Every structure is written in C-alpha cells, then in structure tokens.
Structure 1
Amino acid sequence: MNNNSKYKIGIIGFGPKGFYGFERLIAYLNKAKISRTVRIHIFNNTSFLASGDVYRSDQPEYLIMNYANRNINSWVLKEPFSSATKTPDFVTWLTDNGYNAVASGTYAPRALVGDYLVDCYQFVLEQLPMNIEVVTHIGTVTNMIKEDDDYKVFYSDKISGELEAITCNKVLFTTGHHSFKTQKNQSDNSGNKIDFIYPTNEKLKYISSPSLVAIKGFGLTAIDAILALTEGRGGNFIKNETGDLKYISSGKEPHKIYPFSRTGVPMIPRNGLATADLELFFLTEEVITNLKQHRPINFHSRLLPLIKKEFYFSYYTVLFKNYGHQFYFDTDFSVMEKQVKYFHEDYPDAPVFNWETIVNPFKEKSVLSTDEIQDYMQYLIDEVANGEEKSPLISAVATWRKISPIFNELYSFGGLDAVSHREFDSYYFGLFNRLSYGPPVKNMKKILALSKAGVLDFTYAKSATISKDDSDNNFSLHIENGQRTQIDYVVNATISRAKEGRFENELYQNLLKNGLIREFENKSKTSYKPGCIEINKDGNAIDVNGYVNNDISFYGTPTEGITCDNDTLSRTRNDFASVWAKYVCEAIKEKDERIEKYERQEHVF
C-alpha cells in the first residue's frame, strides 16, 4: 500500500482542551497501529502550549486556583490508554517534583498547574510513534475555507506577521470563547481602559500608583485584578494578633480601587476540603429520566423548585445536626416542612432557610456601604471555617456542585425552552457560580484586608454606572443617590461568554460567512439565540444548510451556550475530544483500506 501520503490534522487552540484532544488522538492512533504518516498541525496564539493563557507559567504565584489540587488530573483511566509512560495526577506530579508543601495544600498557583500541563504534553511527545509528526504554528487563526475535500487554515504568524495557509483533512477547534473580540478590535490597553486583564503583569502595568481605578465585576477575575494591583505591586499581607490578615502597603498600588457589579455581592469562598459525598433526594434518576422524556424543560416551573428543595434539605440536615437532631427525608415535602416548623418553634433563634437571602442578601438595598460588605465577607469567612459539616449555608451551596453535571445533561442541545435558556444564561449561570465556585477563602481574607486598609472601596459596589467624561479622557462612576467619583482607569474584569446577538470573533464570523457553521437557535416555544455555534451531540459542526460535517469538531469553550459550564480542567465534562479522536482514527483506517483495495484491484488487472 502507498502510505507515503500524509494525513493532516489541525488543532486550533492549544490550551488544556487542545492538549486533551491531542492526547486522545495519539492514544487512538497508537492503538490502531496506523502506518501512514500523520501530521498534526497545532495552532496557538502564544508559545504557552498545553497550558494556554489561563495557566501560563509566567504568572505570579499569588494568582491561585479555585479548583482543589486533588481534582486536577490531565489523564483518563480508560481505553485506549495514553501512550505516555508517565501519567501522574497533579498531586503526584507536585510530590515527584519536590513541591511537597504545595502538594499537601489545597490550592496551587495557576502557573504551577501550567507547568504540570506542559510536562504532561512532553510525556506524550516523548512517546510519539515514528509515523506521527507534530508541527507548531504560533499565531492567530483568522479564517478557514473548504477546498475540495480538505480545509485551508489561515493564520497570522506571530513572528513574521505574514498570513500563512495550512491544509488539513480534519480540524478540531478548542479556542477561547468565540464571543471574544479579536485583538485588533480591543481597546488599547496602554490607555485608561483595560478590556482583558491577562496576563496581569502586561495588561495592568500602565495603571499608575496614585490613581483611582474602577473594576467592573466582583468575581474571580476581579479578585485577580485587585491582587495584581496590590500584592503584585509589592504589598504584603501579614497576620495580626487576632489571626486576621492585615495589608501593608508598598506605596505602588492605586490610591483607591472601586469594584462594581450588578448585585454588589461577593462570591461565597471555598476552603478546598473534600465535598461530602452528597446524595440528591429530589433530582433522583427517576425524576431526571422523566425530565429528559419531556423536553423542553421550563426551568422555573420544573427544575428550580427541585433545586431549591435540594438546598433546603442540605441546609436543614446540617442545622438539625448542630442542635442534636436528625432531619428526616420524606417524599411528601410538606412532612419535611412540618419538621422544620416544629424545630424553629423549639429553637426560635436558629437561622431560617431563606432562598432569597442566600441568592441576594442585599436585594432590597439600592446602595451598599463598605461596612455592610465587609460584615458580609467576614460572615462568609466564618461560615467557610465551619465547613459543610457544620455550616448550613456552606452545605446548601455545595449542593449545586453535585447538581451541575446533571443539569448540564438537561440543559444541553436545547433541553430548556427558549425563555428558560435565556434566563439561565443571563442570570442563573452567574448566580450558581457565585454561590458554589467562589475563590479560596485565603483570597477572600485578602480582599477583606484590602478593604479595611482603605485601598479597596465598596461605595459603588452595587448597580453603579460608568460613563466617559466629555471634557477629558477620564471616566465617572456614579450610583443612584447621586454620589459620583472621577476615575482614572477602568478595568473590565468580567469574562465574556456566549451572549444573545453577539458573534464577534473574526475567525467564527468567517466560518459563518463561509457556510461551514451556523448559529444555534433554540426554537422551543419561542426563539433564543445564545450567540454560539450549532453542533451535534458528538461535537461536529452543523453547516449553513443544516448538514453535519464530521470533518470539523468543537470542544471546550466554543461549545458554551449549547452545552453548559466548560470552563474547567475536567476530562469528562462534555468530552467531545474522545469522540473526535476515535472518529479521526477510523477515517484514516477507512481511507487506507480503500487505497489498499484499489491497489489490489490494480495489481489483478
């Protein structure tokens, strides 16, 4: 058989998800003993291969994970097993490399996770079969067109600046989210508006020390920005006599930092201890099966009541235990409510479960004070210290982490009706992230210390409006009561997700224009376009005419909006990489068998 013709595969975007796809592809090719030469083209914006920008190794150590060390593992224990001779999980890798203190801790620096991912990539490269070639292209992919049965990928080379073209037979997209604007469309980060904070040492270096800085957002990215402008400028945190943190200024940080968001409510922090093996009592297998059989699902009428009941049960299980009682489950929820009623009659000072208070403790307040937010943050820190075993609140919010993978199954591919889909994307996704996927408590203590030191000011935390002053190049931050402060710099510390009516990235706009993809539309009862591409349940592209294109696949954040919550290092969450790798391997084998059959026929004649 003539197998000298190279089979060419492209992986566009090579952070963790790109590496996962690569690792699965090598495993399948190795198992199938493919003899044809296979060339894998890797395209990435930067040289931080496998780690990507989120885990790049040049980040400062104070930027830490909110995903516990024990959960990080770049490998899957299923066939075909990796061709790498070493497949350590993160904790094992830390120990093997002398990071014993970090290994025994809870949350590692993101840069260290990046080093781990890079090493895992090298482990695979070291065991590549002789017929597999890997070619790396550092630059920005801007377009892809179909040519006969192949695809021409266009990218702007980062070093030469030239527009290059590479031909591929199959392509996997694992890029950052397609709603991100391309670099040339972003605001000038050397000015007084920063649209994206990573890498922080580059993007935030223009902010001068005596300035007033507004930070849009109050989530994980905002915390990173705040720490980069304080601890990253030489400030120090020390423990005071009560064990709390105190901030010692370096004099190089901004004069004031004003975070602002829609609710003004900080995320609930985490202590990183193992989540109890939570059992779900209302979202049972039988209930889930029934919900799947009656899609589309209305979130408010059918799902949210069950979620609230799961929170309720977790809350009171711990609260009853704290008072020496047991909370009994009953399929009749009114029986459980009677238990709670009698309990509170006996213990009138015990905290009462209130969904609205958990969701938004400051809902009725239009303006918040720094003191109010400081008190709430201290309350959260104290609750986290008690953990899921003793804190009813922490036990309740931990429930979502158990529900989340089940919800993903119900949500994906138009599982919710269009109205519910829009509402979840715009409100509940952020809400559950704030409740259940917050920062390490260590970082929350730092934020509280910065506020007490006067560097961080929460005057404009809730529902503030930012506007550009006509007279100069500055901004103003103002709230309902009329209070206003002139701002020198504005930092956008929100991470863009798929949003209705937004399809901004140049690459995905071109794929759309070329008819290779189409935008997903949920047409259940009404219509909602979440701003994402349409794929089938194997991650393959649906083209402009509605046909499945098995040559083009998507994995990770590009699938956000049609699937849910892909911003994770999980190897199992929406794992389109394994399906893609298996299909590519089978396609190569089928092509080789056709060639071999043809050559046999030629030989006969």
Structure 2
Amino acid sequence: MRSNRLAIVGAGPSCTYVLDRLAATAQAATTPLSLDIHIFDRAGQFGAGQVHSSEQPVTSFLNRIVGQVAFAADESVVGAGPLLPKEDRPTLLDWCRARFEETGDPVFDLAAEDWPKRYVHGLALADQFRRYVRMLRQVPGVEVHLHHREVTDLQERSDGSLAVIAGDGEHVLDADHVLMLTGHSSNDPARYPRQAAWARFTERHQAAFVPSAYPLEDAFEPGQASPGSTVGCVGMGLTGIDVILHLTEGRGGVFEERPDGTLSYRASGQEPDSIVMFSRAGLFTFARPYNAKERDPERLEHRGVFLVEDAVHRLRRSAGRPVTIGGAEQRQLDFRDHVFPVIVLEMACLYYSTLLGADFGRCLEAAARPEYEAFLADGGRGAPSDDSVRRLLAPVEACVDEAAQTLDAVLAGTLALAAAKEREWDAEAALRRFLDVVFGPEQAAGLVARIDDPALFAAGIAAAESPWRHPKSVGAQWFSWERSVRPIDRGSFSTPGEYRAAMLDFLDLDHRWAAQDNLSNPAKAAADGVWRDLRGVLAAAVDFGGLHAASHRDFLDVFMRHHNRLCNGAALEVMEKIRALIQHGLVDVSAGPEAEVELDASSGRFVVRGGVTGAELPVDILVDSRVHPFDAENDVLPIYPNLLRRGLVRKWRNPGVGEPDFAPGGLDLTEDFHPVRADGEVDRRLTLLGPPSEGVMFFQLGALRPNQNHHVMQDILCWMREFWGQDGTAADTVGERITTGV
C-alpha cells in the first residue's frame, strides 16, 4: 500500500498545532496507517518559525499574556476528537513554570497575567513541535521528515499529485496533499510606488532604506543605525515598537525604576542619536489593559447586546446590495453606514455600564432597543453614518444626561441621595459603582461612609483624587468615538514641542487606564469588549464579500487601523519603556499626525515633515516598520507568484457594482480553505491557512488560546476532517472520531 504523502510548507506555530492533532488522532487510529509527512521550513525554525524564533532579539515581547497561549486542542474545542494526555499538552504558562523549576531562570518565572518575551514563546513552540514529532514517529506506519529548505513552487503531476519544488529547483517529492502554513512574509518594495521611490533614492544617495523590519536581527547591516545617525520608522504599531527596543535596550541601554514607579532610560552610547516615529495618525497603539477577564473568561468576556450576528443578517435583508460572488448571491453592506453605528452603540452602552453599573446598563439597553430595532428594519434609510450614529445614541445619551444631572448633584452636595433614588434605575448602585471606578474601592469606601451628609460627602469628593485621572463628575465622562480613536485633541498643539508634551500626557493617561484593567476602566472595557471579544461578529460582516468593494477597502484602510490601535496594542511594561525613551529624548514623536516623507537630494537624506506640527526631521535610515499585508502577486518570496503563474491559485476580488473591483491581495479560497484555481475549479489537494486568506476572510492569524474553542484550531480541524477522510488507510476510524468529537 502506497503511503499517503502530506507536505506541510511552513513550520511555525500553526504547524505545531497541526502536529498536535495529527499525533493525537494517529495514536487513536484502530486500523493501520500509511502516512508520510514532509515538513518544510525555509529558516529551519521548526515549531516556532522565523517570526517566533528563539533566536530573535530578547527585547521583543509576545503580544499576549502567558495565560492566553496554548499549543494543543483541549476540552473546550468542539469536535476536536481524541486529546493528548494533559502532560503532553501544556499551555505556555505550564511550560514556563516547568522550565523555571528546571533552570531557575527568571525569564520563565511568569504568572498568567504576565507578558512573555517572544523568544520564550519560540522556545516553547520548538519544544512542543519536537514532542509531537516523537509521538508521530512512534505510530506504526507514520514517518515524519524535516526539510530545512524553501519551497518555491508546486507543479501538477500526471498522476494527480503535486510536485514539491525546492529553492534550487530540485523536485523533492510528489505529495497527495499540500498544507500551506507560510505565515507572514513581506512584499517587494519595487512594486509599490512610494517604497520604490524611496529605494531608488538610496541608490543615488547616502541614505538607507529598510523595506521590512523582520527578521529584526537581520534588519540592519553592520554599522547601520549607529551613534551619529537618525533612524526614521514609518509606522508606530507593534513592529515600530520592536524596532525602538531593538535599537535601545538591545544595544545595551538600561531602564531604571524611579521612586514613583515610572521608568527612566540610561543610554549605553551604542544607540542611534534619534529614532523618529511617525504615521498617518501620529499615535502608537494603545496600551493593552490588565486582563481582569482571565480569571474566568467564559463568564467575564463580553457578549454582544446589540452587535450580534443576527443584527448583521437583518441588516443584509433590509439594506444589503445584491451581488454575485463566485456563483453565489451575497447581499453586501456598507461597513461605515450599516455596521459601524451598531459598533458605536455597543461601545457606548458598555462604556456607561462599566462606569455606572450593570443595573444602569440594563436601563440603557431598554431605552436603546426600539430605535435599534427600527434601524435594523430600515437599514438606516440610506442615511450617512454620522446621522445613524446620532440616531442610535440619542436614547442612550438622554438616559445618561438624566443620570449625570442626578448623580452630579449628589456628588456636589446639592441633592440628597434619598431624593435621587426616585428614578427607574438604582441611583445608589450607580453612584457606588461610579465611586469605585473613579477613586478605587478603598477611597470609595471612605466616601460612601459620608454619603448621608451631603456637605461632608461633597467635601470628600472635592478632596479625593482619581488614581486614573478620571473626572470627578458623570457629565465630564461622556463617551465619544472621536475621542476614543483620536485622544490627543487637534486644538491642543501646533508645534513639535507641544505635540511631544501632548503625547507624553496621553501616554501617562493611557498607562493609568490600562493598569485599571478591562473590566473597571470604561474606555478600555468598551474597546476590549467590542473590538476584541466580538471579533467574530465583525468577521460575519466582512468575510467572503460581506461588504461592497469600496466599503471593504475603507474597512481595511481605516477601521482595521482603529481595531489594531484600540485592542491590539503592546503591554503596559513595553509602553512604559516607550514613554521613558521619549522623555529621554532618544525617541522623537514631534512629527505628529499627517507626517510625510520627502526626498532631499541636496543632503542625500530623507526628511520627515509633520503635516500639523510643521516639524522637519532629517533621517539617515528609513525603516518600513509595519507588518506587510499579504499580497500573493507581490510577495518577496517566489512560492505565491509561482502558484499564480501556474494557475493553481488566483487572487480574490470583491466585484464592484458601479465601482472598481477591490483585490486586497489574498487568494480566492473556499470556506474550507481550498484555493479556487484560475480556471474556476476548486483544488482540494491544496489547503492554505493564515495570511493567504487575508481579504476574503478577516483576522485569521493569532496564537492558539486555551479553553476558548479557538478559531485557529477550528480552522485546522476543518482541514483535518477532510484530510483523514481522503486518506483511505484510516478514513473509517480517525476521520469519524474527529467529526463526532469522540
């Protein structure tokens, strides 16, 4: 019996998760197996992949707390099938605790809410990968081969298999199934006008251009970004933050704690003179809040009240524009006009429920429900987004206005609490919650003790200080979407120095809010609860052409930036370092919003010019410090351009109706992740998970989470069921057990 040959291209985290499922199900098979697994990784970083390599700079942090990372399916995963014994599927937290006991190395001494170094995650991934490979090799009839080689092409063979071609053109093997897990790559700068112009400029002048920051350890040539030079970073997100820490702490600089708990920076002398950070918004991603939900995610993660999948379906019926995509009819929405108003409503209600308590939140829901139902039924009547937002918020704001008048009078001592209780909502409960949020439980308890004496209570409020810089009145804490995404008032600065001061003030405020946590701080609760916890609803609105072409472009260009800034930021520890580096003067944020890069031929340098602040900042080395979106046609590696050329895959297009089509760059994939070929046929020999689905699907990457029935594992199971079903050696046992969850 010929072995069923599986080729896995890319050996990063997703490959590790796949091997967990293959090991568990292969061990459970009750009929003979004949499976030949070949795993290819161009960097040779088996288990971790290049992005999570254990060899990367120690200054880079994983963007998730240690308690939220797993490597294997667990009891929460619906339809997972056989699970490995618990000792063979530790979470990252379990793995770190065991490693700390073995080594005593403090880098592994982590609590569930701590942020691990990214290389630590890489070490754990590689360890789990090796464990799963050993298990598979112990199963009779299963072979596993590891290839430290780049796969550059796939070719069709006459027997229906796919020839796997390595970087030197060698035909390595013929595979019955190919699973592409290539992860993040980068794009050829020569194919993008702005980046191409920057690259051409450096060919004629002394300035340097780094088109992609990753892998960070190889981003700069020896002698680059050295003392006497200025580095400019296009992008202030997580990649830009990685670059900053690599060029400062990674060069021997030290962060020291001041008596007040903040950090200062002591330079090593090996850093560049300045690191200029700039972007369209002029903002870093916001600090991730302390995750108070981690103690009981099932109970504490936010469940949508208004932003639910049923609302998306109803809006499609009332306002969706019919279009045919891939032979099927879809009713497309406008994200800004149809979905966004509901997002703002959900955020506002969660914000005020956090500020004034669950009972008040229920009153808000009741008040908002009639207009919300009408909006779903009429699809907004063609009104622009701003009008629909005002329409949905009007009942909420009327309730909050009444609460503010009542509670602020009590806080000021002009209204006794007994008189305030004559409301539809529990005024005392709302007041107590407000005091807890603004002052913290200890101060709040002291204030509540004075609550029956209006004058004494008001004096206590006047004397108290909020550790989180919250205003001491309800009326001063109005929810505003605009303020959520643009927290630095455009009217508060006009010069580089004023913007720097405003940025430092915001970083202080954001740090305090993040430290308060995602259940107690209204702004962090609203951002985290909607844009993170309800990400599945956003996917239901966006996936497979759920938005019309122009709106889809708008979603990726505008709203994904908001998503990343609001809920996908860096750890508190990291952002405190960034603040210290700005205060030190090494990191320069004075360009502010709307900054642009200009080419100065006279000096041979780039110049970053602030569109609002008027800053003019010469730069020697320009770094594109953003994660490149997947673009199959323009990928810097050859595999996807070659697959396109052969017609094995095609790019997905959102068809425009009276407008241009929109092609985000990702591939045309079915819901079970098989590519649609150039001839329109689905190729079930080939499965692609992760970045290649960007565009046709929303937010497909992410580390596996424990106890979450996580979407990453569900995507893998989708492939697994079909793979075992097509493998005639075990179709009657393994495939059935995965499908039934036994």
Task: Work out the percentage of aligned pairs sharing the same amino acid.
Answer: 25
> 2:501 aligns to what?
371
Structure 1's 528 and 324: CA in aligned 2 closer, same or farther, altered over 3 A? closer
In 1, the alpha carbon distance for the partners of 2:489 and 2:704 equals 34
Q: Deviations over 1:355-379 (max 9, x none)?
A: 1111123474687621111111111
Structure 1's 292 and 52: CA in aligned 2 closer, same or farther, altered over 3 A? farther
> 2:267 aligns to what?
249
Deviation of residue 495 (structure 1)?
0.4
Question: Is 1:25 aligned to 2:22, yes or no?
Answer: yes
Question: Is 1:199 aligned to 2:215, yes or no?
Answer: yes
TM-score, normalisation: structure 2: 0.73
Question: Is 1:208 aligned to 2:226, yes or no?
Answer: yes
The one-letter amino acid paired with 2:265 is Y
Q: Deviations over 1:80-128 (max 9, x none)?
A: 2245761111111112222662135511111111111112112212211
Question: Is 1:74 aligned to 2:67, yes or no?
Answer: no
The one-letter amino acid paired with 2:572 is V
Of residues 282, 304, 312 in structure 2, which corresponds to 1:280?
304
The one-letter amino acid paired with 2:575 is M
In 2, the alpha carbon distance for the partners of 1:513 and 1:92 equals 45
The 5 Å alignment of 1:145-184 reads 145-148=155-158, 149-156=160-167, 163-177=170-184, 180-181=187-188
Of residues 623, 626, 641 in structure 2, which corresponds to 1:491?
623
Contact 1:320–1:326 (8 Å) recurs in 2: no
Q: Deviations over 1:398-417 (max 9, x none)?
A: 12111112211332111222
TM-score, normalisation: structure 1: 0.89
Question: Is 1:391 aligned to 2:521, yes or no?
Answer: yes
Contact 2:609–2:616 (8 Å) recurs in 1: yes
In 2, the alpha carbon distance for the partners of 1:473 and 1:585 equals 59
In 2, the alpha carbon distance for the partners of 1:341 and 1:335 equals 10
The 5 Å alignment of 1:88-167 reads 88-98=90-100, 101-128=109-136, 129-148=139-158, 149-156=160-167, 163-167=170-174
In 2, the alpha carbon distance for the partners of 1:182 and 1:80 equals 44
Structure 1's 479 and 285: CA in aligned 2 closer, same or farther, altered over 3 A? closer
Structure 1's 501 and 75: CA in aligned 2 closer, same or farther, altered over 3 A? closer
> 1:599 aligns to what?
none
Of residues 262, 268, 282 in structure 2, which corresponds to 1:264?
282
The one-letter amino acid paired with 2:725 is E
Structure 1's 568 and 342: CA in aligned 2 closer, same or farther, altered over 3 A? same
> 1:540 aligns to what?
674
Structure 1's 81 and 590: CA in aligned 2 closer, same or farther, altered over 3 A? closer
Contact 2:675–2:688 (8 Å) recurs in 1: yes
Q: The residue matched to 1:144 in structure 2 has which SS?
A: strand
Q: Which has the greater radius of gyration?
A: 2
Q: The residue matched to 2:149 in structure 1 has which SS?
A: strand
> 1:573 aligns to what?
711
Structure 1's 239 and 503: CA in aligned 2 closer, same or farther, altered over 3 A? closer
Q: The residue matched to 1:50 in structure 2 has which SS?
A: coil
Q: The residue matched to 1:70 in structure 2 has which SS?
A: helix
Structure 1's 45 and 468: CA in aligned 2 closer, same or farther, altered over 3 A? farther
In 2, the alpha carbon distance for the partners of 1:162 and 1:145 equals 11
> 2:255 aligns to what?
237
In 2, the alpha carbon distance for the partners of 1:335 and 1:469 equals 54
The one-letter amino acid paired with 1:356 is E
Of residues 604, 607, 623 in structure 2, which corresponds to 1:476?
607
> 1:405 aligns to what?
536
In 2, the alpha carbon distance for the partners of 1:501 and 1:457 equals 36
Stretches of structure 2 lacking an aligned partner (at least 5 in a row): 102-107, 294-299, 321-330, 371-391, 409-472, 733-742
> 2:414 aligns to what?
none
Q: The residue matched to 2:338 in structure 1 has which SS?
A: helix
Structure 1's 421 and 179: CA in aligned 2 closer, same or farther, altered over 3 A? farther
Deviation of residue 462 (structure 1)?
2.1
Structure 1's 591 and 237: CA in aligned 2 closer, same or farther, altered over 3 A? closer
Of residues 281, 290, 293 in structure 1, which corresponds to 2:314?
290
In 2, the alpha carbon distance for the partners of 1:301 and 1:466 equals 33
Contact 1:554–1:576 (8 Å) recurs in 2: no
Structure 1's 367 and 311: CA in aligned 2 closer, same or farther, altered over 3 A? farther
Structure 1's 325 and 503: CA in aligned 2 closer, same or farther, altered over 3 A? closer
Q: Deviations over 1:541-583 (max 9, x none)?
A: 1111111111011111221111111231136325432222221
Contact 1:28–1:581 (8 Å) recurs in 2: no
Stretch of structure 1 that moved more, 184-193 or 18-27:
184-193
Structure 1's 359 and 271: CA in aligned 2 closer, same or farther, altered over 3 A? closer
In 1, the alpha carbon distance for the partners of 2:527 and 2:361 equals 21
Q: The residue matched to 2:526 in structure 1 has which SS?
A: helix
The 5 Å alignment of 1:523-534 reads 523=655, 525=657, 526=659, 527-534=661-668
In 2, the alpha carbon distance for the partners of 1:501 and 1:337 equals 48
Structure 1's 291 and 42: CA in aligned 2 closer, same or farther, altered over 3 A? farther
In 2, the alpha carbon distance for the partners of 1:515 and 1:247 equals 54
In 2, the alpha carbon distance for the partners of 1:514 and 1:163 equals 17
The one-letter amino acid paired with 1:410 is A
Aligned Cα RMSD in Å? 3.0
> 1:444 aligns to what?
575
Contact 1:106–1:273 (8 Å) recurs in 2: no
Deviation of residue 37 (structure 1)?
3.0
In 2, the alpha carbon distance for the partners of 1:74 and 1:406 equals 25
Of residues 573, 585, 591 in structure 1, which corresponds to 2:724?
585
Which 4+ runs in 1 deviate beyond 6 A?
A: 182-191, 322-326, 590-593
Structure 1's 82 and 164: CA in aligned 2 closer, same or farther, altered over 3 A? farther
Contact 2:495–2:614 (8 Å) recurs in 1: no
Q: The residue matched to 2:553 in structure 1 has which SS?
A: helix
Question: Is 1:339 aligned to 2:399, yes or no?
Answer: yes
Of residues 423, 431, 450 in structure 1, which corresponds to 2:554?
423
Q: Deviations over 1:231-273 (max 9, x none)?
A: 1111111111221111111111111110010000121101332
The one-letter amino acid paired with 2:46 is L
In 1, the alpha carbon distance for the partners of 2:242 and 2:519 equals 29
In 1, the alpha carbon distance for the partners of 2:274 and 2:51 equals 27
> 1:564 aligns to what?
698
Contact 1:316–1:327 (8 Å) recurs in 2: no
Deviation of residue 142 (structure 1)?
1.7
Deviation of residue 529 (structure 1)?
1.1
> 1:514 aligns to what?
646
Stretches of structure 1 lacking an aligned partner (at least 5 in a row): 594-605
In 2, the alpha carbon distance for the partners of 1:363 and 1:33 equals 66
Structure 1's 551 and 363: CA in aligned 2 closer, same or farther, altered over 3 A? farther
Question: Is 1:357 aligned to 2:463, yes or no?
Answer: no
Stretch of structure 1 that moved more, 187-196 or 64-73:
187-196
Stretch of structure 1 that moved more, 73-82 or 435-444:
73-82
Structure 1's 591 and 550: CA in aligned 2 closer, same or farther, altered over 3 A? farther
Structure with the largest fraction of helix:
2
The count of aligned residue pairs is 586
